[in-house]
Structure 1
Amino acid sequence: MTLKTNEFKDLILDEERALYAIQDAMISHCTFDGPADGESALKESADIHVSDCDFRLRYPFWHVRNAQIENIRMTDTCRAALWYSNQVTIKYSHMGGIKAVRECEDVTIENSNIVSPEFGWLSHRLTMKNSELESEYPFFYSTDILLDNFVLNGKYSFQYVENVEISNSHLDTKDAFWHSKNVTVSDSIVKGEYLGWYSENLKLVRCKIIGTQPLCYAKGLVLEDCEMIDCDLSFEYSDVNATIAGPITSIKNPRSGHISADSIGKVILDDNQLADDSCVIEVRDELNKEEIQNSETYNENILNNKDVPVQET
């Protein structure tokens, strides 16, 4: 087989650091696997194009600079695939293995599927489009994230992130956006428990929010034209400005701002309110006001936006 200089094709590579520090290289139709069980196949490489390859060994892309990666497959044995790398683009690929991306910069992932329990930690300028991710702790302590047409099946997602934009996405996750700062989610479904606690400047626009006890202890919280489904005990101790299309199951002790909804199942303003609470709660639809007036939890002062305690029944 005759290959051009720095072209690697149709090879099986299992040695330790098989293509260590390779520069200006084309790698295609290769399999990184075998009895030698070598690690760090492309460590310290730069200006590489990798396509149609299978990666089954650990740590292939550490300290990599300027890599174009297309149509590759990483199994669950390909642990910690991208660490300390920058200017990497991945397209039409599958990434498996724990800790797939960590401490990287300027990474773009498109049209790909990822299964990685700890994904995207401590990374900066991470873009994902038309992709799916299954992860237990995704995006921990990362910044400057852009997600579009993104599907997430996660648990403890987006903790301590900063400067995030998410659009046209479906997030099925628990405890998302805790301690996050400067996050905007638009035209998306956000499903989970205890959404956005301790967040700062979290903004949700035209989103469908599903799940118990959302958006508590938040500062600078904004909801614009959102739906809230099965959202009980919402906004506790939060500074919030919200316009809700449709009903809210219940609101409990919001701190400040303004909440407007078509209907509210229950407003709980109890003895645990903070002394300086000033949130205004408004029910927009007169028909819904009539329904509340006929309910067991009706209190006239709530409909007049007065902060009078209503005990939970």
Structure 2
Amino acid sequence: MTTVKDAYYEGERSLFAQEKMKIVSTIFGPGESPLKESRQIELENSIFQWKYPLWYSQHIKVSQTIFETMARSGIWYTQDLQMEDCTLQAPKLFRRCQDVRLKRVYFADATETFWTCNHLRLEDVEVKGDYFGKDSQNIYLDHVSLVGNYCFDGSQNVEVHHSTFVSKDAFWNCQNVTIYDSTLNGEYLAWNTKNLTLVNCTIISDQGLCYSDQVTLKNCRLLKTTLAFEYCTNLAAEVTTTIESVKNPTSGFIEATGIKTLILDATKVDPQQTRITTKTPIAERRKQ
């Protein structure tokens, strides 16, 4: 393996199609696609300052490296990439990638990042930015903190542990999502999603969990959650707190400590199709 250390490159495709190279303490200045079509590259303690650094690359290891703002759209169509202890400032970094593993990575602007990717594993990752994870699949998250709206729209086969999402419209249009021991805070959680399971989670959401099918909550807390479960089918909700309001669930069951306001409009749903039990009396019942 060739080693490059303390170098500076600029200009388009400066290390195009390089193979079996270790790059240490190196700066890639102005110039597009410096490592396009590269193979078996190890990057350590380096800096990317310009666009498209790792397109169509394979078998890449990146550690203690910075992607500055203009390194946007940086990693597209790349396979088998491992990244640890990195700081990422650029948006749109990952698109149509496969087999990506991140540990201890910070995204300062993750806008439109991880779109249409497959087989992702993120551990101890901090994310800031809208539209993260769109249309990606086979995703594992552990200790991920995400602040940004519309995350994981259209994603499939997602498993989450010990994570926090501050996100409006999170997990819309998804299939097969399981979330454990996490907090989800934001309006309109998980609409139009099929096969969603939440275990030991805390949820704060206005009009959350609506228009979805096969929604399961186990030992979950719903805090200041209003108008939940509208047109939700095959619902199985075990809630350990009082729910602010529930509106027109279609079928299944809800077990909760209490419900402040229950809205069941017989012209919209069949109330007999949803079994609702509470430990304390329902404070208010309305038809619409």
Please say whether Structure 1 and Structure 2 have the same fold, judged by a TM-score greater than 0.5. yes
Q: Which has the higher strand share?
A: 2
The alignment status of 1:93 with 2:86, answered yes or no, reads yes
Give me the whole-angstrom Cα distance separating, in 2, the residues matched to 1:272 and 1:60: 57
Q: Please list, as runs of the form range in 1=range in 2, the aligned pairs for 1:203-242 lying within 5 A after superposition.
A: 203-239=197-233, 240-242=235-237
Q: Which residue of 1 aligns with 2:275?
A: 280
Kept in 1, the 8 Å contact 2:129–2:148? The answer is yes
Residue 122 of structure 1 pairs with residue 116 of structure 2: yes
Q: How does 1:100-119 map to 2 (within 5 A)?
A: 100-114=93-107, 115-119=109-113
| Alignment pair present for 1:40 and 2:28 | no
Q: Which runs of 5+ in 1 are unaligned?
A: 299-309
* Contact 1:14 1:38 survives alignment (8 Å): yes
Q: Deviations over 1:51-70 (max 9, x none)?
A: 00011110000011001100
Cα distance, 1:276 vs. partner? 7.9
Shift of 1:96: 1.8
- Residues 37-89 of structure 1 show CA distances to partners (whole Å, capped at 9, x for unaligned) of 21001000001100000111100000110011000001111111110001000
Count of paired positions: 286
Q: Give the letter aligned to residue 250 of structure 1.
A: S
TM-score, with length taken from structure 1: 0.89
Kept in 1: contact 2:249–2:269 (CA 8 A): no
- Match of residue 12 from structure 2: 16
Q: Is the 8 A contact 1:179 1:196 kept in 2?
A: yes
Contact (CA 8 Å) 1:253, 1:272: kept in 2 or not?
no
Tell me how large the CA RMSD over aligned residues is.
Answer: 1.3
Structure 2: any 5+ residue segments left out of the alignment? Answer: none
Q: Contact 2:153/2:173 (CA < 8 Å) preserved in 1?
A: yes
Higher-Rg structure is: 1
Encode CA deviations 1:120-176: one digit per residue, 9 max, x unaligned: 000000110001011210011000000000000010111110000011001110101
The 2-side partners of 1:138 and 1:132 are apart by: 12
Structure 1 segments (4+ residues) deviating >3 Å? none
Aligned-residue sequence identity (percent) comes to: 33
d(CA) in 1 for partners of 2:70 and 2:6? 21
Secondary structure at the counterpart of residue 58 of structure 1: coil
Confirm or deny: 8 A CA contact 2:33 2:54 kept in the other structure: yes
Q: Check conservation: 2:250, 2:270, Cα contact below 8 A.
A: no
- Distance between the aligned counterparts of 1:230 and 1:117, measured in 2? 28
Is the 2:85–2:104 Cα contact (8 Å) retained in structure 1? yes
Distance 1:227 1:276, change over 3 A: closer
